[in-house]
Amino acid sequence: MTDQTNRADLNERLDFIGLGEEQRRHLAEIRPVLKEAVGPTLDAFYKKIKVTSHTAKFFPTDAVISHAKSKQAQHWDVIASGKYDTNYVDNVSAIGRTHARLGLEPRWYIGGYAMVLDGIIRAVVKKELTGFFQEKKAKGLSDHLSAVVKAALLDMDYAISVYLEALNAERDRVEGERHKAQAEQEAALNAFDGALKNLADGDLTSELWQQLAPNFAKLQQNYNSSVGELDAAMREINSSVDQVRAEAGGISSAADNMAKRTEQQASALEQTAAALEEITTISTQSAQRTREVQTIVRESAAETVRSGQVVQQAVTAMGDIEQSSQKMTQIIEAIDDIAFQTNLLALNAGVEAARAGEQGKGFAVVAQEVRELAQRSAAAAKEIKELIDQSSADVHRGVEFVNKTGQALAGIGARVKSIDEHISSIAQSAQEQASGIEEINSAIRSMDQITQQNAALMEETNASTQSLVGISSRLSSLLARFKTKGAAREVRTERPRLRA
């Protein structure tokens, strides 16, 4: 208890008993009388203690009695001082604990209080009633007060004794119940200890069927229910572990096959990537060569156009030649006419020269020469005409050939243009094909990397699966340490087969 609590309890006691400041002042006034009376009274008290069998054992020597008497005298001096504080409470509490430790019953120290009070009352009355005529009255008053105090203390002794006996009886009853509960608890603990040992050994069939106290019925029910639930859980876990082992074995085999196939796929993808790399290079070269052919075809088309233009110019020149031949034919015809007229004139001149006779011989010679010249001119004009006609025919055939050549060149130009368009389409397709192959190559390279990563992951998965198989085996071996109802039934069903 705290000092504040002790103080409140002390004040409550002082107030209830009516020991206020005025009463405590009266105590302080008679303190010398009390101090003088306590010594002889304590001597008489301890003298009686020594001859009483129930109390003599608590004070076996004079030294113990002397020490106890000294402490008692100091305590009564504190009581007479009227100063009740926490120190007083501590001292009283120490005395009470000492009596309890020694086993001194309250009846004996209540009797001691009666003896001490008898001595104190007689001393106080004697001090107050002094004189010759007061001694008899003082003795009678002292006897009366002593008798009242002793009667009150006797009654208090019996009341407290009965109270303590009732407490002891209740304590004995509680102690008996405690012993009974302890015995029931020990029985329950022993039962639970055996069941828990079996449970620790892995026996999940170790339920508790002993007859226990009603207080442990709920605990027994909960334990049996828990063991039953644990048994069911373990059996389900065991079944699940078997499934896990089977599934893990299948997964391990599948993962192993998958890992091998992934390695083969990775190798095939690597070869495919290399082949696509070569195809990409060839496609790029083909696209480059197609572009070069396209350039050549375009140049050929331009050259064909230029050749067509040249042929057209040749056709135009042939036309001009034909026109010139026609003009030359006209000129030759004019020359032929002139030669014919000249021949007629020369013939007429010869006739006239013959008429003239001798005088016309010179003129006849000239006319003969003119005639021969006219005949040669006519013959030359005829040959030239024939040549011009032949040349005109050749030119006409050349014009036809040139026209046909121009038409052929125009057709070639159209075909070259069509070829150029097809080559352009082919070049564009080749470029798109090269781009597509490059994208495919990039995708294949990415797939190759992913496949390599998948192969590594499959190796890790395979390793994890193998580890899972090992863990499942270890878990199965751990579960095998537990004895479940299902396992017990299996053992019971298997034993007859073993005997058979």
| 137's tokens | 């009255």
The set of residues, in sequence order, having a beta carbon less than 8 Å from that of 449 and lying 6+ positions away, is none
Name the stretches of the chain with pLDDT < 50.
491-500
The Cα-based distances of 444 to 258, 271, 284, 287, 451 in angstroms read 20, 10, 18, 21, 10
- Which pLDDT score, from 0 to 100, does residue 92 have? 79
Among 216, 192, 217, smallest CA distance to 206 is for 192
With a pLDDT cut of 90, the percent of the chain lying above it is 0
**How far, CA to CA in Å, does 103 sit from each of 54, 66, 107, 149, 308?**
11, 20, 12, 25, 150
Query: Which percentage of the chain shows pLDDT scores above 70?
Result: 87
3-state DSSP assignment of residue 387? helix
Residues near 343 by beta carbon (within 8 Å), at least 6 away in sequence: 371, 374, 375, 378
In angstroms, the first-to-last Cα distance of the chain is: 80
What type of residue sits at position 392? S
pLDDT at 486: 61
pLDDT tens, residue by residue, 299-317 = 777 777 777 777 777 778 7
Angle at 493 between CA 491 and CA 494, to 5 degrees: 65
Q: What's the confidence (pLDDT) of residue 365?
A: 75
The total number of residues shown for the chain amounts to 500
What ranges in 129-216 are assigned the alpha helix state H?
Answer: 135-200
Cα–Cα dist 247/468, whole Å = 10
pLDDT value, residue 491: 44
